[in-house]
């Protein structure tokens, strides 16, 4: 999905994390994010990519040291959203 945030062009990869284990979805999500970012840098360098994750997944999984390290190392920009209301609760750069 492409959009704008306060005049900034963004793209959002939304992940639901519906698998029984979050790690099973995390690895492909990071890989997809990295590849999508490479494509965006080549085709739309002024657009910033975000990975959108449900708030409960962020609270339970994205706060773990391993996950935090991976987010930092891979420079993931995150959007945390409430899956029920579909509202954004946090923007994390």
Tens-of-pLDDT digits for all 93 residues of the chain?
555 566 789 999 999 999 889 999 999 999 999 999 999 999 999 999 999 999 999 999 999 999 999 999 999 999 999 999 989 999 998
- Angle, alpha carbons 91-59-33 (nearest 5°): 55
The CA distance from 56 to 40, in Å, is 28
pLDDT at 20: 82
Ramachandran quadrant class, 48 (left: phi over 0; alpha: psi -120 to 50; beta: rest): beta
- Per the CB < 8 A criterion, the answer to whether 39 and 59 are in contact is no
On whether the pTM is more than 0.75, the answer is yes
In the numeric block, which tokens belong to residue 85? Answer: 């209301």
| CATH annotation of 2-92 | 3.40.1350.10
pLDDT at 3: 57
The CA distance from 34 to 87, in Å, is 25
The CA distance from 51 to 16, in Å, is 11
Give the number of other Cβ atoms within 10 Å of residue 60's Cβ. 13
């Amino acid at each position: 999905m492409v959009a704008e945030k306060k005049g900034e062009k963004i793209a959002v990869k939304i992940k639901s994390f519906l698998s029984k284990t979050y790690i099973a979805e995390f690895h492909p999500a990071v890989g997809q994010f990295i590849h999508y970012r490479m494509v965006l840098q080549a085709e739309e360098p002024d657009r910033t990519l975000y990975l959108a994750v449900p708030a409960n997944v962020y609270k339970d999984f994205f706060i773990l040291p391993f996950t935090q390290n991976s987010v930092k190392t891979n420079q993931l920009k995150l959007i945390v959203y409430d899956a029920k209301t579909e509202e954004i609760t946090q923007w994390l750069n």
